[in-house]
């Protein structure tokens, strides 16, 4: 437990010391809220979809968490190149504990990032359906953070090229985000596209957050939680196994 706590705390300190990273990570969600929220808002409302900011906000929150969580894995490659990872791995603790601590630290950062974006959404005009389900939304936000931080860690464990990591991440994140229902409803889609969205883990996170905050959902809380918990457990196990095979 001590190793997990130390790695968790180190990840938090590393993030909060980088003011540019903190500010830059908020630019994209803000751009989506302003450009899409107000740009497509009248069209969405005329089509009978209601307030687009209300619909879009949960998706933007999930997007912010996704990007922060996935890119946290690049720190493994950075530490490997500068020798810090080797010093960490020779410590008398299991590699699984080190990986879990790093993952929890990255997930906590991504989760806090999502809370900040949620507050920004309120400023932009987003309104809750009910405060009762806010803890449910926070639970979904943390599950998304943990799942995709573990996923990013697993991929980074197999890479040594720092330039390749962002390319692979963007290749994976763009389809995951755009096919999650963050920007458009998942109902009434063409058959093939609907099948793809049902295999997208972020779709269940977006659905859970949107259901908790706005009351609009497709899959239901039970299925959303089940899918995310099972996938998070599996990806954490795979990530721990791949991290344990790192050669420095």
Tens of pLDDT, residue by residue over 100-130, are 888 888 888 889 889 999 999 888 888 888 8
Q: In angstroms, rounded to a whole number, what is the distance separating the alpha carbons of residues 102 and 137?
A: 24
Position 135 pLDDT exceeds 80? yes
Q: In angstroms, rounded to a whole number, what is the distance separating the alpha carbons of residues 35 and 9?
A: 36
Position 19 pLDDT exceeds 60? no
Q: What's the domain count of the chain?
A: 1
pLDDT band at 247 (very low <50, low <70, confident <90, very high): low
Q: Which range has the worst mean pLDDT, 23-32, 125-134, 137-146?
A: 23-32
Structural domain span for residue 19? 2-244
pLDDT band at 242 (very low <50, low <70, confident <90, very high): confident
Around Cβ 232, how many Cβ atoms within 10 Å? 22
CA 184 and chain centroid, separation: 18
Mean pLDDT over 156-160 rounds to 80
pLDDT band at 38 (very low <50, low <70, confident <90, very high): confident
Q: In terms of Cα–Cα distance, which of 176, 177, 146, 145 is closest to 60?
A: 177
The residue assigned the tokens 């990840």 is: 11
How far, in Å, are 7, 181, 194, 211, 219 from residue 200 at the CA level? 30, 10, 10, 17, 13
Residue that wins the pLDDT comparison between 89 and 171: 171
Position 21 pLDDT exceeds 80? no
pLDDT of residue 206: 95
pLDDT band at 239 (very low <50, low <70, confident <90, very high): confident
Q: What is the pLDDT of the chain when averaged over all its residues?
A: 83
- Helix (DSSP H) and strand (DSSP E) numbers for the chain: 13, 0
Q: In terms of Cα–Cα distance, which of 242, 205, 247 is closest to 103?
A: 242
């Amino acid at each position: 437990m001590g190793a997990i706590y130390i790695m968790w705390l180190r990840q938090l300190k590393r993030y909060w010391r980088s003011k540019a990273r903190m500010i830059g990570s908020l630019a994209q969600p803000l751009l989506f809220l302003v450009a899409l929220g107000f740009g497509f808002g009248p069209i969405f409302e005329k089509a009978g979809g209601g307030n687009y900011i209300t619909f879009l906000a949960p998706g933007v929150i999930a997007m912010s968490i996704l990007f922060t969580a996935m890119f946290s894995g690049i720190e493994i490659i950075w530490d490997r190149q500068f020798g810090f990872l080797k010093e960490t791995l020779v410590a008398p603790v299991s590699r699984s504990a080190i990986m879990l601590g790093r993952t929890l630290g990255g997930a906590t950062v991504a989760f806090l990032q999502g809370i900040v974006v949620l507050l920004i959404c309120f400023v932009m005009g987003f309104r809750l359906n009910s405060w009762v389900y806010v803890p449910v939304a926070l639970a979904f936000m943390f599950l998304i953070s943990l799942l995709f931080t573990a996923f990013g860690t697993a991929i980074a464990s197999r890479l040594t090229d720092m330039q390749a990591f962002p390319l692979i991440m963007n290749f994976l994140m763009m389809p995951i985000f755009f096919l999650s229902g963050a920007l458009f409803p998942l109902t009434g889609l063409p058959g093939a596209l609907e099948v793809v969205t049902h295999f997208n883990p972020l779709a269940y996170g977006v659905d859970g957050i949107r259901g908790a905050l706005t009351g609009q959902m497709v899959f239901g809380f039970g299925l959303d939680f089940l899918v995310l918990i099972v996938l998070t457990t599996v990806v954490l196990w795979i990530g721990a196994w791949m991290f344990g095979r790192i050669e420095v």
